[in-house]
Structure formats: structure tokens, C-alpha cells
Structure 1
Amino acid sequence: MKYHHISWAGIGIMSDWNRKQRLNDVFEIALYLVSGFCIVYFMIKSQYPKAIQGILIILVLLFIRGLVKWTQSELFPALRLSVLFFIALAMLFANLFGLYGVIPYLDKIEHLLSGIILCFIGLLIIRKMIRKHRLNGFPSPIAIWFALNFAVAMAGCWEIWEFATDRLFGLSSQFGLTDTMVDIICGTIGAAGTSCYLARKAKRHPLSILSVDENKG
């Protein structure tokens, strides 16, 4: 009876995975279609910088697909959704449609979302390590702490990069210490919220976040 219970649970996980990935497929296709329409529209209007931004969105989507294929790392549904939503928010709505002046604190929302993505990427790194070295029974709390600290560290590294490019090339990515610290705090909040979500999920299903089978999760 236990064997049949595990089998049906596995089928349920696979079904849920496939359903979420199909929704992500629809989301990604919509981004291609909207970007393609914008390219044609802005080319007709002779607004070439806007058209180039549409091309960049498509190139980023293709780059992510190529990177996933090259590294043989399938993005689990939550990570893929976060990445697609970030592209839609930051590249489509903020840059292409110019909504930075319309949506309050849009930049901070992007940093919050980046913390979520980076936390999921930290988890993905752990999952790949478990799969590569066959580390069965790896503790979920350690994986969650790694994902959290990875995200916070990367948020700091991004601000270092912005500081360096501002100094070297005369850019204006940062607007003082307060702006820098708020960006890091927003990224940390996003990562902390994600780690809490992972901890809750792991508590309900101990193997759910660290399944070495990348067709589940």
C-alpha cells in the first residue's frame, strides 16, 4: 500500500509540474509576441531605440533558453516564473513602456523580485550539487540557509558592480548611500520571504525542495 501511495504522489507532483510549466510556456510566448509587435510598431514610428529594446527582450529570452540548455539545468516552475516576470517588469513595462515615472518605487520592486530570483538560483545550485554528487539525505535547512545567503551576497555584489561602473564610466546608477542600502534591503527582504516559503514547503514535504529529479519540484 505504501508503494502505491508514493507512486500516486509522484504522479501528482509530475502533473502539477507540467501544468505550471505549461503556464510558464504561455507567459514566455506572450512576451515574444508583445516584443515582436513592439519592434514592428516602433520601427514604423521610427522610434528605433524602443525597437532595439524589444529586440533585446527577445535576445534575453533566447539567451536564457540557451544557457539552460548549455548547463543542462531545467528551471523549476517558481524560478522560471520569477525570471519571466522580472523580464516583463524591468525590460518591458519599465524600459520599453517607460513606466518608471508611473509606478511608484518600481526600481525597489525590481530589487525585491531579484532577491526572490537569486534565492531560487541558490536553491538550484544546491539541487544540482545534490544530483551530481548523489548526496541523498542532504538537510533542507542547510540548503535554505545557503540560498538565502547566496541571494544576499549577490545583492551586495550587484551594488558593488554599480558603484564600480559609476566611478569608472561616469554613470549614475546609484544615488547615494541611502539608495544603495535600500536596494540591498529590498533584495534581502525578497530573499528572506522566499526562504520562509521554502522552509514551509520543506516542512510539509521534506524532500520537495531538494528532489534530485529535476522533473519534480
Structure 2
Amino acid sequence: MESLQNKRAIALERIVWWSVQMSLLAGIYIMYVQGNGTKVFMGLLTVAVLVVIALVQRRFDYPLPAIFASIVYIFVFFSVVIGTFGGGYRIDHFDDFLHVFSGIWIGYASWIILRRLLRNGGAANLPNSFIALYMLSFSLAAAAVWELLEFAGDKLFSFTAQGRDPDDTMIDMIMGLIGGLITVVVILTLRNKGKINEAVDKE
């Protein structure tokens, strides 16, 4: 039977999803009026991705924990609505904040993947050092893949995700790694206090 806490998490996910979608559509309209076709295209791609996530969640009985999905939607809001449509990237360190944020939810994703690969409870037998190394490696690899996607988007679709200074790419990866480290600290702290099973089971 679905727990009350899980029902509330799912309800929150739906509210966040609709809020982000509405803000995306409003931003797309504004970009269209301003004649910015590149940002309109980027916005439509983002809307399509969120629709696919929602369909997968409904069709397969929420394979992604509702709290995790909500975090991803909030990240999309900050990165696309505030950053791309609202000019947030002109704010000092806004991009750094986003990469730390992305490192946090990617680190969380790595933990979810690990637990699902070891469905028989094997994660409980893994040492903290291995979990930390795994999550940090996952976060760094994901940060590198993200930079590759930004590079591809800039070259293929004339996006402006990457700066011309190569330091920008390295700093972005470092910020992502810091975000992953934050998640490692939180997960291992909960684990050492014996609260990690309860926290995961209620997702």
C-alpha cells in the first residue's frame, strides 16, 4: 500500500512539474515575441524532455523517486527559465551555483542507481570508502558528459552554453564535483546514523 508520505511526494512532484512547464511556456512565448529562435528551440526541447519524464513516471509507476524528480524539475527552472530566458547567467557565479546544484542531484542519482543494482540489500555491505569513490567518480563523469553535450549544442545548434575560455569548462566540472561531494557527505552521514534505509524506503 502506498504510504501517505509517498503520496504527498508524488503530489508535490506534479505541482512542481506543472509550475515549471507553465514558466517554460511563458518564457518560450516571450522569446518568440523577441524573435530569439535559438532560445525558443531550446525551450521546446526542454518542454519535450519534461513531458517524456512525466509519461515515464506515470506509465511505469514512478521509477524515479518523486523527490528526486522534483529536484530535477527545479534545476530545469533555474537553468532554463531563470538562466537562459531571464538572463541569469549574467549574474556572477550563477553558473557555478547551477553546476554545484547539478552535482548534488547527480550524486543523488548515483546512489539511487547503486541501490537498484543491488536490490538484495547488498549496498548495506559496501564500505563507506567504496560508496564515496563510486559517487564522486559518477559525479565527475556526469559533469564531463554534460560539458560534451554543451559543446555539441554550441557547435550544432549555435547555443552559447560554453564560454570561449577553457577555464570555464574546468571550473564547471569542479563545481559539479563539489556538488557530488556534498551528496556523499549527506548520504554517508545518514548511513552512519542508521537512517539511510528509512530515508530511501520512503522516497
Amino acid at match of 2:124: F
How far off is 1:104 after superposition? 1.6
Q: Which moved more, 1:147-156 or 1:50-59?
A: 50-59
Report whether the alignment pairs 1:208 with 2:198: yes
Structure-2 change in CA distance of 1:97 and 1:107 (3 Å): same
1:187 match: 176
* Aligned CA distance change for structure 1 residues 90 and 163 (closer, same or farther; 3 Å): closer
The amino acid across from 2:141 in the alignment is A
For residue 35 of structure 2, what is the amino acid of its counterpart?
Q
Q: Which residue of 2 aligns with 1:89?
A: 78
User: Aligned in 2, Cα 1:195/1:54: closer, same or farther, shift over 3 Å?
Assistant: same
Does the residue aligned with 1:47 lie in a helix, a strand or coil?
coil
The percent identity for this pair of structures is: 23
For residue 94 of structure 2, what is the aligned residue in structure 1? 106
Matched, 1:156 2:144: yes
Q: 1:18 to 1:202 in 2, by over 3 A?
A: farther
Contact map agreement 2:114 2:123 (CA 8 A) in 1 = no
Any conservation in 2 of the 1:163–1:174 contact (CA below 8 Å)? no
The secondary structure found in structure 1 opposite 2:172 is helix
Q: Does 1:26 align with 2:26?
A: no
Q: Which amino acid aligns with 1:154?
A: A
Secondary structure, aligned partner of 2:185 = helix
Specify the code of the residue in structure 1 equivalent to 2:6: W
State the one-letter code of the partner of 2:125.
Answer: P
Gaps of 5+ in 2: none
Q: Normalized against structure 1, the TM-score is what?
A: 0.72
Contact 1:201 1:208 (C-alpha < 8 Å) held by counterparts: no
Question: TM-score with structure 2 length normalisation?
Answer: 0.76
1:51-74 per-residue CA deviation (whole Å, 9 max, x = no partner) reads 444433321211223455688762
The answer (yes or no) to whether the contact 1:148–1:191 under 8 Å persists in 2 is yes
1:55 has 2:44 as partner: yes
Kept in 1, the 8 Å contact 2:143–2:177? The answer is yes
Q: Deviations over 1:181-210 (max 9, x none)?
A: 211110111010111111122233142355
Residues 169 and 95 of structure 1: CA distance in aligned 2, closer, same or farther (over 3 Å) = closer
- Whole-angstrom distance in 1 between the partners of 2:13 and 2:57: 15
Report the equivalent of 1:139: 125
Q: What amino acid sits opposite 2:111 in the alignment?
A: L
- Checking the alignment, whether the CA contact within 8 Å between 1:57 and 1:92 is kept in structure 2 is no
Range moving further from structure 2, 25-34 or 171-180:
171-180
